[in-house]
Structure 1
């Protein structure tokens, strides 16, 4: 294998170690067969030098040398056995960290790629043929991003990560006025947030005047404990959503009172039909609803919106 090939595969740091280096294509994936020369090795348990070759384990390591083609190193990993204590162990693998199947070169490439703020975890995963979670894990392990200073008004919210992640929701701290992210925390758990804010100087916490949040109890408790001078404002989005859910629940409960004869055109059935058919009346501003006569198909009648609201209000009061 020529020096140029070794350089193209970004294995130049292992040039003197390489015993076997072959490449082949398998269903569009570049497979790199790699084996190193035997090394002087001792037993990690009893430190005996009398060891013998046991077998090979072929370890697949993602080695993304190109954004246009997936490439995998098939590393011929030697296993040895100590003649004294009979412990079986592997030779040193300088290509990847222990228990991982991604090369150190690929990790470095991903971290360099993420230096551009226009690049995302998703685009990095696509470019380097790894999962999004792998990119996140690499970033969390090697990058310690400094948070921004707390502004006068901050927003606390959560974002769903994954059902398979240790925490389903991450916590986002946002500069409400400056429209910039302050920090991204791995979880929204109360005890973690209290520990996080306890590391921030009290003088900085006291400068926070308003904290905008949803109605999750833990956020409220954290703010009262860590930023007692700050006022709490409920995010209008969450407030409106909660009110809409309450209205929907009342509408459905009222509708179900008239469910018995919904297949026949009787008086009670009309209430069920109207509450279900014209549910949007409860979600729109009165001015935004059509101001003419609205057709009630099942009654073969036309009502003005004012009659609808009068009827619905009377039903809710029953």
Structure 2
């Protein structure tokens, strides 16, 4: 058995699955066969490619110069083979292998391996789909590249001379340059990637890198021919309307292909305009009746098979009429409707034939490119809806530019319709960004971006009509700060301003932009207990009354009450709930339990009845305010201590309690006689009762402030013997 000191732990993570799949496809031996191996190589070209794939599919990949560090701490011998170390995968080794791959032809290598994988996993190749995409790059990428010679075969370095280099077989490098940008970055240079995938599972079979200014119209047919020669597959090639040009059709005579005729052609427009809607409706009705009859007969025969009906394409024109009505988007019509994994995909067609160039205001119908994009729209019947929207680019002969068509329902470079983003904005105002993100399957940053964009376009309410407002701060992301200040109209419930700051100086700077007449008419400002808001209000709204909303006051009250609960050793959750809940919402049995909890701590009970934290809040928020404690709560505390003396004297009947705690002036003569009998049972109780009535007399007598304070102080000097220190501390 191995000792613990001899054991070594290395990470494998999910990379073992990737390595196993690479081995099952046979990528390593095929790469070695295509590019060749050299004697003495520790890591073959195939293993280097395998390492590159593992690095690319790792959770965090590494660039070439840090490639070896990626494998440090990983089970590299298990992934790549015995004896291989991370240091063997240095940038020099990777660079030499990349040169070999380039000389051998990336397209040829990719296609060979992809075809073997498709055959091994029995991928259906009856149909293939051709398309291209652009990838933008940052940097100058000068066109004048340094001349580099590549050898078309391996030679001994001692025998290498100019005669041993076959320049004709060296690949021609692509150009990183400007062109039509599919990823909406026309300001950056780019390159093009042509890809052919199987209709079964979208497995890529053909890959080709091209210069950034290459046109699909001029290259698609030759790509199909090259694909046919290399793979020799009897496949139906499906492509977009870029394939439909006269030169391409001449080259595709020996191939099976399927494409869409662009509506920019006049013949296509004429054919569509000649369609008779009434005839199509009749044909559609007849076909539906026929299908319903077939379904009825199938059900009568008891066949368990699920029937799928293939309706002719002409019937979809009638269906699209109703889909157009439901979709209700300007300038477009529905061409197709499919459902994929519970999602509805609507293919759209733009009604107009051309556009007005936004550079020179000239009208043009010369279509240059048409690249559909996938856009998310509002759901229908609880199902997500995606729109395949044509993104058309025209050529303007007047200014010789290539303007992109603008759509009324979709902003440039956006992947959501305007009404979808407006819906997100309204929902965020009623919920949170995290919640809406979870519901829509969008990240926090995406939701925030939508909210910020829509908020900038919203028409702000008229400040001239606002008289009552509220100020509050909200965190744009829970638990991570990022506070903003919200200004709302209380009367109308409208959002007025959203200030991207929580500093009083910056809030004042934004609000001071309103005219002084507008600010002076604000009568009331509701705020929480943040100390910076009063400063803002006094500066910006000189005539406004400051209102602290009940929610924030009760929040502070409950916080201090909870501290007293913990200090009293009451730690169970039920007690916390009973103490912090509104008493009127508690059930009778819960109120009984609350009384038991309050009986455990006299201090907690007093705090529950009359919270002692108010003075602290008032002094902090309103430093110049005078604190007045109402008579009701003072008399409540006095009667409580008086009741203790009653019990201590052994007087337990309820009638005596009622007589002692009632206001003497409200008692009847016979009740006063009974009260005198009760007081005669205890001299101490009699003195305390008389002091209680004297205290009531002070409150009810019309005295000046100074005389009232003097009377209370005299009363306190005698009351300390009978009444608790809580009352004395409160009044002092």
Relative to the length of structure 1, the TM-score reads 0.53
Report the Cα distance in structure 2 between the residues aligned to 1:110 and 1:283, rounded to whole angstroms: 37
When residues 35 and 90 of structure 1 are mapped into structure 2, their CA distance, relative to the original with a 3 A threshold, is farther
When residues 58 and 291 of structure 1 are mapped into structure 2, their CA distance, relative to the original with a 3 A threshold, is closer
Tell me which residue corresponds to 2:72: none
**CA shift digits 1:275-299 (9 cap, x unpaired):** 435667975899x96599949xxxx
Structure 1 residue 14 displacement after superposition: 4.6
Tell me which residue corresponds to 2:554: 240
**CA shift digits 1:95-115 (9 cap, x unpaired):** 6322101235x469969xx8x
Contact 1:6 1:12 (C-alpha < 8 Å) held by counterparts: no
Which protein is richer in strand relative to its size?
1
**CA shift digits 1:29-81 (9 cap, x unpaired):** 222345779989x9x9xxxxxxxx89x8652112448556433223465799x
Equivalent position to 1:249, from 563, 578, 586: 563
Report the Cα distance in structure 1 between the residues aligned to 2:341 and 2:605, rounded to whole angstroms: 64
Tell me which residue corresponds to 2:488: 173
Q: Which moved more, 1:68-77 or 1:208-217?
A: 68-77
Equivalent position to 1:185, from 497, 508, 516: 497
Structure 1 residue 171 displacement after superposition: 1.2
Structure 2 residues without counterparts, runs of 5 or longer: 1-315, 360-367, 395-401, 584-589, 607-723, 727-732
Equivalent position to 2:331, from 7, 13, 19: 13
Structure 1 residues without counterparts, runs of 5 or longer: 45-52, 81-88, 115-119, 256-270, 296-303
Report the Cα distance in structure 2 between the residues aligned to 1:197 and 1:292, rounded to whole angstroms: 47
Do residues 203 (structure 1) and 517 (structure 2) align? yes
Equivalent position to 1:150, from 461, 466, 475: 466
When residues 166 and 99 of structure 1 are mapped into structure 2, their CA distance, relative to the original with a 3 A threshold, is farther
Which protein is richer in helix relative to its size?
2
Structure number with higher relative contact order (C-alpha < 8 Å, ≥ 6 residues apart): 1
**CA shift digits 1:248-288 (9 cap, x unpaired):** 33554xx4xxxxxxxxxxxxxxx6xx4435667975899x9
Tell me which residue corresponds to 1:301: none
Contact 2:519 2:541 (C-alpha < 8 Å) held by counterparts: yes
Tell me which residue corresponds to 1:276: 571
1:67-82 equivalences under 5 Å are 69-75=383-389
Tell me which residue corresponds to 2:161: none
Contact 1:159 1:171 (C-alpha < 8 Å) held by counterparts: yes
Q: Which moved more, 1:277-286 or 1:2-11?
A: 277-286
When residues 99 and 309 of structure 1 are mapped into structure 2, their CA distance, relative to the original with a 3 A threshold, is same
1:60 aligns to what SS in structure 2?
strand
Equivalent position to 2:602, from 309, 315, 318: 309
1:185 aligns to what SS in structure 2?
strand
When residues 7 and 139 of structure 1 are mapped into structure 2, their CA distance, relative to the original with a 3 A threshold, is farther
Structure 1 residue 13 displacement after superposition: 2.3
Tell me which residue corresponds to 2:44: none
RMSD: 5.5
Contact 1:161 1:170 (C-alpha < 8 Å) held by counterparts: no
2:411 aligns to what SS in structure 1?
coil
Alignment: residue pair count: 250
Contact 1:147 1:182 (C-alpha < 8 Å) held by counterparts: no
When residues 186 and 110 of structure 1 are mapped into structure 2, their CA distance, relative to the original with a 3 A threshold, is same
Structure 1 residue 202 displacement after superposition: 1.8
